[in-house]
Chain A
Amino acid sequence: MTQEFTVVGSRQPLVDSWKKVTGQAVYGDDVRFPNTLYARLLRSTLPHAKILRIDASRAEALPGVRAVVTGADAPAKFGVLPISQDEEALATDKVRYVGDCVAAVAADDEATAAKAIEMIEVVYEKLPEYFTTDEGLVPVEEPIHEWTVDGSNTQKRVDQHFGDMDKAIADAAVAPSGFFKFIGVGHAFTEPHAVTAVPESDGRLSLYTPTQVPHYVHRALARVMDMPMHRVRIFRTAVGGGFGGKSDPFPHEMATCLLARKVQRPVRLTFDREEIFLTNRGRHPGTVDVQIAFDKDGKILGLDTTAIIDGGAFASFGVVTTYYNGVLSQGPYKIPNFRYSGRRVYTNKAPCGAMRGHGAVNSRYGIESVIDMACEELAIDPIELRLKNVLEPYSKTTNEFRITSNGIVECLERVRDETDWISKKGHLPFGKGIGVSCGFFISGSALPIHKTRTPQSTVHLQIDVDGGITAHSQGAEIGQGSDTVIAIAVAEVLGVPMDFVRVRSADSDTAPLDLGAYSSRGCFMIGNAAREAALVIREKLSRAAGRLTGADPNDFTFADATLNCASDPSTHVSYFEALTEALADNGALIAKGWYQSPRMGGTFKGAGAGLAPAYSFNACVAEVDVDLETGLIKCTAMALAHDCGRALNRLAVEGQIEGCMHMGLGQALLEEMRYDRGRITNPNLLDYKVLSPFETPAMKVIIVESEDKEGPFGAKEAGEGPLIPVLPALGNAVYNAVGYRSMELPIRPEKVFDHIRRLRKTDAGLTKTWEQNVR
């Protein structure tokens, strides 16, 4: 490493953690305004039905009820993606899933609002119900939405072919394949959605909401409320976890605003846990059918994959998800021939959307399981085979992704060496296993959702006589540490302690545009914008120091709140001296920095999907202990090496990676959204099983720093990518332990048990079977 840093790379507590550990942080439901009313939503109990009539007269007559709104109050459609605006504040013509919002009530207290909801009479006419992707791929009697492919329930089709996949398979020494099934999983953040809408005295409208994407909420709300954007204000409260689950503009946000405008009083709406599951936007259930062709040395010749994903009732981020399930297979290995077919199908279930590792988690499980099969067929060590196939740094993929920094080799080598892989793999007793997987993810989407030339991130800095640096950004701090990234970047560039920097990122009235916390874009884009802005300030302070000392302004370095002249150690001025000089006859220092991705990518249809200014790479090794009597799987240890370019904040990077391991293991072992004819049956945290500390293994985090040339101080993402290899590493470890290849997630103990029982039956010597079949 050539560059010396003072703050970058240290272990910094998150700048907003102090108010969180003291209870001072204001989350969605902590917002308090005088004269507030309480709202509740009426939700559909039918999966698919035409609304014939809504009669709210009894509810409106209930003492304490102040307003009722229905779909007729705001029929404009919205959605996070401009190309698939299919949501409504409240259902207008029909309901599309159990949980769809039909009406909203504002009342003096929550109990009255809840009572009133029960008094609203809705007359429905049932429509045919569709719960599976299979039935939705072909034309249906009553498509769930108007705009679908050929009268089916298919929302989006993607077909891509690079090279000659058939030839790759024909030429292959081995070409294993697998058909994998995935159940839906949810974000299970701890903070329920909770919003307060405030009609301001000047006719504006403010919405306080724990959102990951204030800007998209801003756009959608203005559209639905039919107000110009400048008359709408979005205030992002503290966000109690998002993971993608708070990255859509939501019907409940719109409905609460409608109520507030109608009664001209603040209205607060807080979900219960069940409503979080009904709102969903979790990871798509679906199938992945993947075949990979290898030559005899284990070089990948081509990858052929089909993903059919179950979107639920609305589009959400689904178009992106459909692409990502294919195109994010283009790393971290070189894939010379590639064919992908993706389908997203509407069903009458809670809508799916973006969740940590968006679109790249289930497909990766399929790919890495099939690679594991190939390793066995070719008798090549799984880490060795992977090393043979990795993309070069600063190269291009077949579908023209621009690969920049790439630490995948170091990731693989370090998980191998630091887990004692070589002495364990193939030498563990029956029941114990070890498995590996790689991962690959975007570090911010290079193309914004809306076609615009406005930068993706802008940061404003302001310094006045107190010397404190106020940073304005709309970057959405959701616990991942984006506010801290800004503070680190500014403190690093200006050589001041972290506590000089105060980040204001909550209020759309003061925040310059940022697209929000999704696609792992924050660190890369906000970090760059903050750094650029700080460099402008640095320039101003340097010039002031030059004026004060007569030295060359370009000769100053910044550290310990002092500007030191590099060529003359005796010449230095304090940060405050320089600042005072800079403020003279000029006033507060103001600076702006922004980030916009460079142009990149191919020209074919869909070339923009998956483009990123940088990509993260990682490798994970999981160790398991399978209970041979019960089939229960215990993950005993996990190591994960992640190339994040550079760790701006080692504490936060470790925390993100550990969180990814925990969440990924949850999906691999226990988590599932269970449905009965379109109705979710486990919408609570007892039956939706997030891992407890007892199921969480010893976790080893290995930070790999490839120093990206375009990343801020070399940094790339670390918040989503590390989840991706966790699931296949676990699956491969289970296979290594007992010879059971789970073609579905979660891996079900009853099936592991059945497998072991079959082994015991078919061969007197279990160990013998084991040696023949598995090693």
Chain B
Amino acid sequence: MMILPEFELARPRSVDEAIGVARAATDGFDYLGGGTDLLCNYKWGLNTNPTVISLRHIGELQRMADGSVGGGVTLAAIEKDADFLHDFPVFRRTLDRLASPLIRQTGTLAGNILVDTRCIWLNQSLFARKALGKCLKADGPECRVVKGSIDRCYANYSGDMAPVFMVLGGTMRLAGPDGERTLLLRDFFALDGIRRNVKQKEEIIVSLDLPSDAKTLRASYQKFRVREAWDFPELAVAASARMDGDRIEELSLVANAVASIPLWMDEIAAKYRGETLSDATIDAIAEDMRKAAKPVKATLLPPGYRKAMVGVMTARALREIRGDVVTEKQSGEAA
């Protein structure tokens, strides 16, 4: 049995109450969504806090309507929302291979957006970290992946939902001690495996909202990992486009799980707006994306291979957007 550290559990009923508890928790706190990420890290003794504030009992976080998804909505609930999937079909495939069906039952949207960065040196028990040597993100002096880095952590961003919301132009509604604010999700992340994003500690993700014209975007999320269940992405590419015939009118690209945050590839996308989405264009975009991705050895597969796969996944995403039949290997049917 793994031992969870001692903590007090608060179960507030409203966002305001939760923020109040957070402000009072001067010795440190964490918000608890579904628990599938936080409690694992706690069992490993990673950056634990004496107060845990559950967000599972707050009705305002559970709302889901017309492109707006509450931060506390479970991934399984999104998966079952036929209207949402009809409007934004890219989420169907994103969700049905995200973690595992059991993780999706309790895991929440906000939990997936905020999933802690992961690294082979970090996601270890206290015993293992003593044996392996500690890392920058958990009480160690320096990063184990990029040796000598004493101020920046290179752990890998591993959520799947954020890149898709990003390419669909999603915004995030945050509630904090100073009231609410809204920002584009693409502006949410901050390139550091420890800091990770611009959320203040007390702030709570109330919802993610998609603009109504996102329904007319064509989008694709191509995730690369070795098992179709359980695994976090080794890398992924999210793309969306608005097409005028075969001409790219708008294009958004995210290279995911190749850095500490999902990378918003605006320069590459801008370069190809107005182009025809031909095979040559797809190859060129894929090559640009591949070049731009600079994964490090924080996950299972070698960084060079992951980098190459960024190109492959980009091409697949764009071909899907174009309407090609993308051949993803299907599982063999059990006899």
User: A–B direct touch, CB within 8 Å, in complex?
Assistant: yes
Given known pairs A681-B132, A753-B305, the reply for A698 and B227 (CB within 8 Å) is: no
Cβ contact within 8 Å between A630 and B3: no
A43 and B334 CA atoms in complex are apart in Å by: 42
Cβ contact within 8 Å between B334 and A693: yes
Give the chain B neighbours of A270 by CB distance below 8 A.
Answer: 1
Given known pairs A110-B1, A114-B3, A272-B1, the reply for A43 and B230 (CB within 8 Å) is: no
A694: interface (CB < 8 Å): yes
Give, as a whole number of angstroms, the nearest-CB distance from B264 to chain A: 24
A694 and B229 CA atoms in complex are apart in Å by: 7
A632 and B2 CA atoms in complex are apart in Å by: 34
0 or 1 for each of A627-644: is its CB under 8 Å from B? (1 = yes): 101101011110000000
Binds A, one of B64-72, B120-128, B202-210, B241-249: B120-128
A691 and B179 CA atoms in complex are apart in Å by: 47
A506 and B125 CA atoms in complex are apart in Å by: 35
Cβ contact within 8 Å between B227 and A45: no
Binds A, one of B82-90, B188-196, B325-333: B325-333
CB-contact partner of A699 in B125, B127, B226, B335, under 8 A = B335
Give the chain B neighbours of A627 by CB distance below 8 A.
Answer: 329
Cβ contact within 8 Å between A691 and B227: yes
Cβ contact within 8 Å between B309 and A670: no
Cβ contact within 8 Å between A695 and B3: no
Give the chain A neighbours of B270 by CB distance below 8 A.
Answer: none
B228: interface (CB < 8 Å): yes
Give the chain B neighbours of A694 by CB distance below 8 A.
Answer: 227-229, 331
Give, as a whole number of angstroms, the nearest-CB distance from B155 to chain A: 14
Cβ contact within 8 Å between A45 and B332: no
Residue of B nearest to A114 (CB): B3
A236: interface (CB < 8 Å): no
A390 and B302 CA atoms in complex are apart in Å by: 42
A512: interface (CB < 8 Å): no
Cβ contact within 8 Å between B3 and A110: yes
Give the chain B neighbours of A750 by CB distance below 8 A.
Answer: 301-302, 304-305
Residues 655-703 of A at the B interface (beta carbon under 8 Å): 669-670, 676, 679-683, 685-687, 689, 691-701
Give the chain A neighbours of B226 by CB distance below 8 A.
Answer: 632, 669-670, 689, 749
A641 and B291 CA atoms in complex are apart in Å by: 48
Cβ contact within 8 Å between A700 and B132: no
Residue of B nearest to A274 (CB): B125
Give the chain A neighbours of B332 by CB distance below 8 A.
Answer: 634-637, 696-698
Cβ contact within 8 Å between B131 and A45: yes
B271: interface (CB < 8 Å): no
A98: interface (CB < 8 Å): yes
Give, as a whole number of angstroms, the nearest-CB distance from B25 to chain A: 22
A634 and B329 CA atoms in complex are apart in Å by: 7
How many residue pairs between the two chains, A and B, have CB atoms under 8 Å in the bound complex? 98
Give, as a whole number of angstroms, the nearest-CB distance from A547 to chain B: 53
Given known pairs A691-B227, A699-B334, the reply for A676 and B302 (CB within 8 Å) is: no
Cβ contact within 8 Å between A695 and B301: no
A630 and B307 CA atoms in complex are apart in Å by: 11
A94 and B110 CA atoms in complex are apart in Å by: 49
Give the chain A neighbours of B131 by CB distance below 8 A.
Answer: 45-46, 98, 679
B308: interface (CB < 8 Å): yes
Residue of B nearest to A757 (CB): B308
Residue of A nearest to B329 (CB): A634
B130: interface (CB < 8 Å): yes
A111: interface (CB < 8 Å): yes
A625: interface (CB < 8 Å): yes
We find that the number of chain B residues with CB closer than 8 angstroms to chain A is 37
Given known pairs A45-B127, A630-B312, the reply for A692 and B230 (CB within 8 Å) is: yes
Give, as a whole number of angstroms, the nearest-CB distance from A31 to chain B: 14
Cβ contact within 8 Å between B227 and A679: no
Give the chain A neighbours of B230 by CB distance below 8 A.
Answer: 685-686, 692
Give, as a whole number of angstroms, the nearest-CB distance from B233 to chain A: 13
B150: interface (CB < 8 Å): no
A636 and B334 CA atoms in complex are apart in Å by: 9
Cβ contact within 8 Å between A45 and B130: yes
Give the chain B neighbours of A698 by CB distance below 8 A.
Answer: 332-335
Give the chain B neighbours of A274 by CB distance below 8 A.
Answer: 125, 127-128
A682 and B332 CA atoms in complex are apart in Å by: 28
Cβ contact within 8 Å between B227 and A681: no
Give the chain B neighbours of A635 by CB distance below 8 A.
Answer: 332
Residue of B nearest to A678 (CB): B131
Give the chain B neighbours of A670 by CB distance below 8 A.
Answer: 226-227
A680 and B132 CA atoms in complex are apart in Å by: 9
Give the chain A neighbours of B165 by CB distance below 8 A.
Answer: none
B300: interface (CB < 8 Å): yes
Give the chain A neighbours of B127 by CB distance below 8 A.
Answer: 43, 45, 274
Give the chain B neighbours of A625 by CB distance below 8 A.
Answer: 329
Residue of A nearest to B330 (CB): A634
Give the chain B neighbours of A46 by CB distance below 8 A.
Answer: 131
B224: interface (CB < 8 Å): yes
A46 and B305 CA atoms in complex are apart in Å by: 33
Give the chain B neighbours of A689 by CB distance below 8 A.
Answer: 226-227, 231
Cβ contact within 8 Å between B228 and A695: yes
Cβ contact within 8 Å between A693 and B331: yes
A629 and B300 CA atoms in complex are apart in Å by: 19
Give, as a whole number of angstroms, the nearest-CB distance from B65 to chain A: 33
Give the chain B neighbours of A753 by CB distance below 8 A.
Answer: 305, 308
A636 and B302 CA atoms in complex are apart in Å by: 26
Give, as a whole number of angstroms, the nearest-CB distance from B94 to chain A: 16
Give, as a whole number of angstroms, the nearest-CB distance from B158 to chain A: 11
Give the chain A neighbours of B333 by CB distance below 8 A.
Answer: 698
Give the chain A neighbours of B334 by CB distance below 8 A.
Answer: 693, 696, 698-699
Cβ contact within 8 Å between A111 and B305: no
Give the chain B neighbours of A273 by CB distance below 8 A.
Answer: 2
A567 and B3 CA atoms in complex are apart in Å by: 70
Cβ contact within 8 Å between A695 and B227: yes
CB-contact partner of A111 in B3, B130, B335, under 8 A = B3
Cβ contact within 8 Å between A679 and B128: yes
Given known pairs A681-B120, A687-B300, the reply for A749 and B305 (CB within 8 Å) is: yes
Give, as a whole number of angstroms, the nearest-CB distance from B24 to chain A: 26
Residue of A nearest to B126 (CB): A118
Give the chain B neighbours of A696 by CB distance below 8 A.
Answer: 331-332, 334
0 or 1 for each of A747-760: is its CB under 8 Å from B? (1 = yes): 00110010000000
Give, as a whole number of angstroms, the nearest-CB distance from A102 to chain B: 12
Residue of A nearest to B224 (CB): A630
Give, as a whole number of angstroms, the nearest-CB distance from A120 to chain B: 13
Cβ contact within 8 Å between B329 and A683: no
Indicate the member of B6, B123, B128, B329 with the most A CB atoms within 10 Å.
Answer: B128
Residues 371-426 of A at the B interface (beta carbon under 8 Å): none
Residues 84-124 of B at the A interface (beta carbon under 8 Å): 120, 123-124
A625 and B130 CA atoms in complex are apart in Å by: 42
A43 and B125 CA atoms in complex are apart in Å by: 13
Give the chain A neighbours of B123 by CB distance below 8 A.
Answer: 687
Give, as a whole number of angstroms, the nearest-CB distance from B299 to chain A: 9
Residues 700-715 of A at the B interface (beta carbon under 8 Å): 700-701
21 A-B pairs with CB atoms under 8 Å apart are A45-B130, A45-B131, A111-B3, A111-B6, A270-B1, A274-B125, A629-B312, A630-B309, A630-B312, A632-B226, A634-B331, A636-B332, A680-B128, A681-B120, A681-B132, A693-B331, A694-B229, A694-B331, A695-B331, A696-B331, A698-B333
Chain B interface residues (CB < 8 Å from chain A)? 1-3, 6, 120, 123-125, 127-128, 130-132, 224, 226-232, 300-302, 304-305, 308-309, 312, 315-316, 329, 331-335
Chain A interface residues (CB < 8 Å from chain B)? 29, 43, 45-46, 98, 110-111, 114, 270, 272-274, 625, 627, 629-630, 632, 634-637, 669-670, 676, 679-683, 685-687, 689, 691-701, 749-750, 753
- Among all A-B residue pairs, the 10 with the closest Cβ atoms: A692-B229, A694-B228, A750-B305, A697-B332, A45-B131, A694-B331, A634-B329, A636-B332, A698-B332, A45-B130
- Known contacts A696-B331, A697-B331, A749-B226; 12 additional CB pairs below 8 A are A29-B1, A110-B1, A111-B3, A274-B127, A679-B128, A681-B120, A693-B331, A694-B227, A699-B334, A701-B335, A749-B305, A750-B304
